[in-house]
Amino acid sequence: MSTATLLISCPDQQGLVAKIANFIYANGGNIIHADQHTDLSAGLFLNRVEWELDGFNLPKDVIAPAFEAIAKPLDAQWSLSFSDQLPRLAIWVTKQDHCLLDLLWRQQAKELPAKIPLIMSNHQKLAAIAQQFNIDFHHIPITKETKIAQETKQLELLKQYDIDLVILAKYMQVLSPDFLSKFPKVINIHHSFLPAFAGAKPYHRAYDRGVKIIGATAHYVTQDLDEGPIIEQDVSRVSHRDNVQDLIRKGKDLERIVLSRAVRLHLQNRVLVYGNRTVVFA
Amino acid sequence: MSTATLLISCPDQQGLVAKIANFIYANGGNIIHADQHTDLSAGLFLNRVEWELDGFNLPKDVIAPAFEAIAKPLDAQWSLSFSDQLPRLAIWVTKQDHCLLDLLWRQQAKELPAKIPLIMSNHQKLAAIAQQFNIDFHHIPITKETKIAQETKQLELLKQYDIDLVILAKYMQVLSPDFLSKFPKVINIHHSFLPAFAGAKPYHRAYDRGVKIIGATAHYVTQDLDEGPIIEQDVSRVSHRDNVQDLIRKGKDLERIVLSRAVRLHLQNRVLVYGNRTVVFA
Amino acid sequence: MSTATLLISCPDQQGLVAKIANFIYANGGNIIHADQHTDLSAGLFLNRVEWELDGFNLPKDVIAPAFEAIAKPLDAQWSLSFSDQLPRLAIWVTKQDHCLLDLLWRQQAKELPAKIPLIMSNHQKLAAIAQQFNIDFHHIPITKETKIAQETKQLELLKQYDIDLVILAKYMQVLSPDFLSKFPKVINIHHSFLPAFAGAKPYHRAYDRGVKIIGATAHYVTQDLDEGPIIEQDVSRVSHRDNVQDLIRKGKDLERIVLSRAVRLHLQNRVLVYGNRTVVFA
Amino acid sequence: MSTATLLISCPDQQGLVAKIANFIYANGGNIIHADQHTDLSAGLFLNRVEWELDGFNLPKDVIAPAFEAIAKPLDAQWSLSFSDQLPRLAIWVTKQDHCLLDLLWRQQAKELPAKIPLIMSNHQKLAAIAQQFNIDFHHIPITKETKIAQETKQLELLKQYDIDLVILAKYMQVLSPDFLSKFPKVINIHHSFLPAFAGAKPYHRAYDRGVKIIGATAHYVTQDLDEGPIIEQDVSRVSHRDNVQDLIRKGKDLERIVLSRAVRLHLQNRVLVYGNRTVVFA
């Protein structure tokens, strides 16, 4: 069953649910999922609607222009996706393989509706995994001096492979504001602690602090490092029996699960960003 | 802000979201929450819509008859609630006070939008708590011989106090099918285990089995004991360090939290029952 | 069954478990719980031993001096507690009652092995609760000008009531370093977030950030505000459907549960502090 | 750092901790982990002690006979393990790869202190994974008629490969009592529900029942199917939005994590079985 999914946000006003539902109904569509949220403090209407393409009267390439006639007067931001057009992902890694392997396994197990034609890394270490999964691997080493030039190369590769979404699966480099302005669709995974530990060696500092819980956060990347809109988070209990290596091991388990969940939510078009926050229609 | 909330389920067909949204929009209503679910295997459409009464053109007592004109051709089951009409609860207890106190405290803290005019018990033990919260307490002892007569008395009290919902907050008596046919809106809290333990002394048996997790389940009461539609569940970790008394203590914490969450979800009209299951629009 | 519990930490060396176990065995004691942890990076041995007093040859008042002969050469820090000597708690509050009520309920339900003879507050609001539980209530308002004088009064009350442990159950005042140097046994409850939000209105900022998880942390109070050794933490899931009030409500549930767990662990002598961290022999 | 670990259980009596600690101390051992539990209702003492072999005076092959002199009068059951002698695992699978891959990844990532020389399956499907990880794969199809003969073959392979532990990583066959009497060290992973669903298609039945939580249980295999001593359990939240396929997907995530945790706990000699339950010295 192929479906179309509309994600839309606009200033709240009366009749928005009706307008969108009528558009789909008038064209013969059957809605199988509709979820709406109103952020009363922001005065914002946010909506996700998914309907069957089978029996829908509008051809796929006409839906967007037809809907624009409705959306424009509402001052809406919206996007339209089709379940039979699989997004193309690039996974970026450095040396750690746990998130990469988890994503690749889930894509093979059909848990992630996407194609993964490209793995990029600033190291050679994980090339064998790419080969094993028959995915092109590009080694793009980064130094302070080469960063600007290499980002240009990275952008070319993203274009060449027609990539829709970059996943930083433990990619230990910061993307420049210039890169992000040219390719803004990037998801990152980041360890998180209660309380937070800025700076280097966070697991060592969490251990020294004797925390009882560690966490991980998957978020869209913005120019404020690790401060982009949060898609998904989770935590694990730890105790004094866990040494720094145990915290790192448990952290890796969290990272791979939280990142995979976030990527899946994104690929199912369940995440709507507004301000620096998200609505997740899960 | 007063709101109206519509819960509706009907056989799935095209245009349902539009029909409902149009009804509200055409009468000047502003939807603040709309959530829809389609159970594809059951061919069922399930929907919750909440809109502001302020500015709505229909008087409250006209909304239901007006909507019935739409609902009837759809073969729909639906209910309409108003946030400014607080449901009236009766809490039934035996000897344990943890769930009762939790509900009373939350009602006072304005977490539960309801009135609680009546506490009923087959024991005297918790009368003092009722007095302390200024709630009428009725002691209705039950024996095998008196059960039928006492249930009649209970039904009369529910009528006299104009009760909308009964909460079994550790009420250690089974309600008869006859009682339930006359008053079907009852929520119960029940311990749950992985694996399950039927019969007496479940915490002792869970201990003997060395379970690592214990749980609690809040559900609507049906004639199949402890088998009604589930509203909410949660679990706690336990270990070999927990003896039977610890399991019971942790179980009580689960019970009061799970029951309070379930009651709150019900009072917010977020729970829609179909078959032996629920949709919880949380 | 009365028991004695020894909590001890000292520089690691061979034979420590044997030395302690021999002391108890030689005097006819039956160990019912023994848990040991070695922090290899700190070179520290930490131990909790609990044994039955019934049949133990040493009178209670002789145990400590007798054990000191063993502990001194080890350069050990240690404390000895008896389960039949209930610690005396003072609960300090401001206006919020959720943590206070939870502690009082649990003490009544015999979940907290302690006496609670004193409630102190910088406001009058919760006096009625103290009265209802037959606990002395002292209103000690604090202003910038009166703080030093009032802390003297607070210390006098703690002495007068023979208090062993102060629990800050949403007490919205900072204790001075001077106070803490005179009465260091204080447990506090604090909201926690991933990421952390310093400063005012943390729930509003957590909402703006769209966090998916909120937490609470119970810790011993030190002069670094909210930075003392952590005893217990827990988290709750939140979503875009939760507004600021919902976050606060869920935060209150977390606070009362995490604080009660921490107090119980402390009262069972399961928490050993070293550096700025704890070992919790749970 | 090589260590020795002793797991011991015996009828409770005074002086047990001292006896064991003295044995290690007298021979120059440094204890790095000691955890003891007394099951008061069973009158049973259970203990785990781990100490450094470096500097220990007894050669490895002499420790067991030397300790037997202490253990015998105590009527103790005990086992001794050395961290530098890696146990040898056989993983048994049918068609599903999620648990197998998780175990193999973790073994490669050095999270599981073990060798994995053998994968056995009643199907051919996962042979490629074995090849990819350079592990011998044996295809042992099972029918009702061939089961006894094939179990003999399986036992021979376990002997040939010198296997210490069998892990049923979604092996969809029941082991016979005869097999288990000859090779009793088997860990299995099993889905679990609140309430439980016996019989076929449990995920479908959990969906029909509208459960809000699903779980998984790792346990030692006994002749009572799925009723052996529990090592580890965990759960995931589900909602009405999750269809049967989603439940299965979330169940797979639970299974791989719970099984891997259980295997790790076993390999670290942290699990002590008594009666039909375990103590997990985690």
Q: What is the CATH number of the domain that holds C66?
A: 3.30.70.260
On chain B, the residues whose CB falls within 8 A of the CB of D244 are: 41
Q: Determine whether the interchain pair D212/B196 forms a contact, defined as Cβ–Cβ distance below 8 Å.
A: no
Residue with tokens 């999620």: D98
Neighbours of chain A (3+ CB pairs under 8 A): B, C, D
Of B82, B115, B141, the position where a domain reaches its end is B82
Rounded to the nearest integer, the mean pLDDT of chain A is 94
pLDDT at C257: 95
Three-class SS state of A34: strand
pLDDT at C195: 63
Nearest CA in chain C to A279: C240
Residues of C with a Cβ under 8 Å from any B Cβ are 98, 101, 105, 109, 111, 132, 241, 249, 253, 257, 282
% of chain B beyond a pLDDT of 70: 98
pLDDT at B201: 86
pLDDT at C29: 94
Q: How many CB contacts within 8 angstroms connect chain C with chain D? A: 69
Contact yes or no for D29/D2 (Cβ under 8 A)? no
On chain A, the residues whose CB falls within 8 A of the CB of C212 are: 230-233, 280
Q: Determine whether the interchain pair D230/B215 forms a contact, defined as Cβ–Cβ distance below 8 Å.
A: no
Q: Determine whether the interchain pair B241/C111 forms a contact, defined as Cβ–Cβ distance below 8 Å.
A: no
Q: What is the CATH number of the domain that holds D165?
A: 3.40.50.170
pLDDT at C200: 79
Q: Is the pLDDT of residue B193 over 80?
A: no
pLDDT at B194: 63
Contact yes or no for A237/A213 (Cβ under 8 A)? yes
Do C50 and C99 belong to one domain? no
Do B224 and B131 belong to one domain? yes
Mean pLDDT in residue range A138-145? 96
**Degrees to nearest 5, angle at CA B85 with B83 and B91:** 105
Do A95 and A224 belong to one domain? yes
Which stretches within chain B are classed as H helix?
16-26, 60-71, 98-108, 127-132, 147-160, 177-182, 202-209, 244-267
% of chain D beyond a pLDDT of 90: 85
Do B70 and B127 belong to one domain? no
pLDDT band at B238 (very low <50, low <70, confident <90, very high): very high
Of B82, B116, B135, the position where a domain reaches its end is B82
Of D18, D31, D32, the CB nearest to C22: D18
Q: Which ipTM did the prediction report?
A: 0.91
Residues of B with a Cβ under 8 Å from any D Cβ are 37, 39-41, 192-196, 208-213, 215, 217, 226-227, 229-235, 239-241, 243-244, 275-280, 282
The residue segments making up the domain with residue D230 are: 88-280
pLDDT band at B212 (very low <50, low <70, confident <90, very high): very high
Range with the poorest average pLDDT among A190-204, B165-179, C145-159, D234-248: A190-204
Task: Tell me the C-alpha distance between D249 and C166, whole Å.
Answer: 48
Q: Determine whether the interchain pair C194/A233 forms a contact, defined as Cβ–Cβ distance below 8 Å.
A: yes
Do C245 and C118 belong to one domain? yes
Of B14, B21, B37, the CB nearest to A18: B21
Q: Determine whether the interchain pair A31/B38 forms a contact, defined as Cβ–Cβ distance below 8 Å.
A: yes
Nearest CA in chain B to A282: B282
pLDDT band at A198 (very low <50, low <70, confident <90, very high): low
Q: Is the pLDDT of residue D225 over 90?
A: no
On chain B, the residues whose CB falls within 8 A of the CB of C270 are: none
Q: Is the pLDDT of residue B205 over 70?
A: yes
Nearest CA in chain B to C238: B282
pLDDT at D194: 64
Residue with tokens 């000859």: D182
Q: Is the pLDDT of residue A49 over 80?
A: yes
Strand C88-93 to strand C115-121: parallel, antiparallel, or no bridges (unpaired)? parallel
Nearest CA in chain D to A236: D234
Q: Determine whether the interchain pair B101/C105 forms a contact, defined as Cβ–Cβ distance below 8 Å.
A: yes
Q: Is the pLDDT of residue A53 over 80?
A: yes
Task: Tell me the C-alpha distance between A70 and A20, whole Å.
Answer: 8
- Per the residue annotation, which of A12, A35, A226, A234 is the catalytic one? A226
Do A158 and A63 belong to one domain? no
Rounded to the nearest integer, the mean pLDDT of chain B is 94
Sign of CA dihedral A94, A97, A102, A103: positive
pLDDT at B198: 65
* Distance in Å from the first CA to the final CA of chain B: 20
Do D46 and D106 belong to one domain? no
In this structure, which amino acid lies at residue B128? A
Of D41, D192, D243, the CB nearest to B195: D192
Q: Which of D258, C1, B14 is nearest to A56 (CA)?
A: B14
Residues of chain C with pLDDT under 70: 194-195, 197-199
Mean pLDDT in residue range B52-71? 96
Do B7 and B119 belong to one domain? no
Do D30 and D72 belong to one domain? yes
Q: Determine whether the interchain pair D18/C14 forms a contact, defined as Cβ–Cβ distance below 8 Å.
A: no
pLDDT at D132: 94
Per-residue pLDDT tens digits for A98-124: 999 999 999 999 999 999 999 999 999
Which stretches within chain A are classed as H helix?
16-26, 60-71, 98-108, 127-132, 147-160, 177-182, 202-209, 244-267
Q: How many CB contacts within 8 angstroms connect chain A with chain D? A: 13
On chain A, the residues whose CB falls within 8 A of the CB of D105 are: 98, 101
Mean pLDDT in residue range D201-225? 90
Beta bridge partners of B271: B280
Nearest CA in chain D to A128: D132
pLDDT at B195: 63
On chain D, the residues whose CB falls within 8 A of the CB of A105 are: 98, 101
Mean pLDDT in residue range D236-244? 93
pTM greater than 0.90: yes
Q: Determine whether the interchain pair C277/A213 forms a contact, defined as Cβ–Cβ distance below 8 Å.
A: no
Mutate to test the interface with B, among A3, A14, A37 (most CBs of B within 10 A): A14
Indicate which residues of D carry an active-site annotation: 226
Q: Determine whether the interchain pair B36/A35 forms a contact, defined as Cβ–Cβ distance below 8 Å.
A: yes
In this structure, which amino acid lies at residue A226? D
What is the DSSP annotation of B10-36?
Answer: EE--TTHHHHHHHHHHHTT-EEEEEEE
Do C245 and C209 belong to one domain? yes
Do A100 and A225 belong to one domain? yes
Nearest-Cα distance to chain D for A102, in Å, is: 9
pLDDT band at D104 (very low <50, low <70, confident <90, very high): very high
A73 secondary structure, DSSP code: G
Mutate to test the interface with C, among B32, B33, B106, B239 (most CBs of C within 10 A): B106
Do B108 and B56 belong to one domain? no
Q: Determine whether the interchain pair C241/B282 forms a contact, defined as Cβ–Cβ distance below 8 Å.
A: yes
- The domain tally of chain C equals 2
Nearest-Cα distance to chain B for A198, in Å, is: 31
Residue with tokens 């943390």: C202
What are the φ and ψ backbone dihedral angles of B215, each rounded to 5 degrees? Answer: -140, 175
Nearest CA in chain C to B100: C105
Phi-psi sector, C269: left (phi>0), alpha (psi -120 to 50), beta: left
Beta bridge partners of C278: C273
Residue with tokens 């230990």: A172
Q: Determine whether the interchain pair D38/C31 forms a contact, defined as Cβ–Cβ distance below 8 Å.
A: yes
Of B82, B99, B115, the position where a domain reaches its end is B82
Indicate which residues of B carry an active-site annotation: 226
Strand D88-93 to strand D115-121: parallel, antiparallel, or no bridges (unpaired)? parallel
Nearest-Cα distance to chain B for A178, in Å, is: 39
Q: Determine whether the interchain pair B210/D230 forms a contact, defined as Cβ–Cβ distance below 8 Å.
A: yes
pLDDT at C166: 98
Q: Is the pLDDT of residue D195 over 90?
A: no
Q: Is the pLDDT of residue B160 over 70?
A: yes
Nearest CA in chain D to B258: D212
Q: Which of C187, C209, C186 is nearest to C196 (CA)?
A: C209
Interhelix angle B16-26/A16-26, rounded to 10 degrees, is: 140
